A = this chain, B = another copy of it.
Amino acid sequence: MTPIICTVDAALLTLRDEGLSVALLKREHEPYKGVAALPGGYIHADEDLCAGDAALRVLKKKTGIDVPYLEQLATFSGPARDPRGWSVSIAYYALVPYEIIARAAHPGVQLAGVDRLHTLPFDHRAIVETALERLRGKSQYSSLPCHLAGEVFTLPQLQKVYEALMGEPLNKVSFRRKMQEMDAIEAIAGEMEPASAHRPAQLYRLKQEFRAQLRLLKRGL
């Protein structure tokens, strides 16, 4: 009896001007050697303390990035998804502000717009779709999108992030009321865009205690 193959895969998502994008890497080994795919790899039973650690290790090794937000997505499994045999992939998604990718990503990391994805090997397409569903769903009623907005951000910037994820414009007054009610971000003394010909916006950051845990709204946006 051949053992089951245990791997992790991660959809590393970021928001650029071109829209939401996912990080792809050319595979170094068979199967699908040379094909762009999600970063992934075997669980190392001798060093990983859980599958999430394996995902962090793989992401750091293959993309160069210490991802600030990682969440388990779902586990994909079956006899046919990997040509090597019956396999389990514990899939994660990571949210990373684009500024971190621009600064730290390995040269081989490609960003592909999620709305015009080429075919991906294995069931990586399904993993990306599931990640988008999760991200868009949780954006309706949580602080999750803050993780795409950068270390510090203004409310107009954050609103644009939410709008990009929800796919529709939001009311400015309502958005600000909701952000206040959510109580997940805090103003920083100091302002931004002093080089711009208009009133500068207040800077905010995600409160420390909500970097790992989400803050939920009683009623959505």
Contacts and interface: CB of A to CB of B under 8 A. Distances in A.
Contacts of A118: none
A212 interface: no
* Number of identical protomers: 2
Interface stretch (A45-53, A101-109, A145-153): A45-53
Q: Which of A43, A78, A141 has most B Cβ within 10 Å?
A: A78
A200 interface: no
Interface of A: 1-4, 6, 43, 45-46, 49-51, 72, 74-75, 77-79, 85-86, 88, 90, 141, 218-220
14 contacts: A1-B45, A3-B3, A3-B4, A6-B6, A6-B88, A45-B79, A49-B79, A50-B77, A72-B74, A72-B75, A75-B75, A75-B90, A88-B88, A220-B220
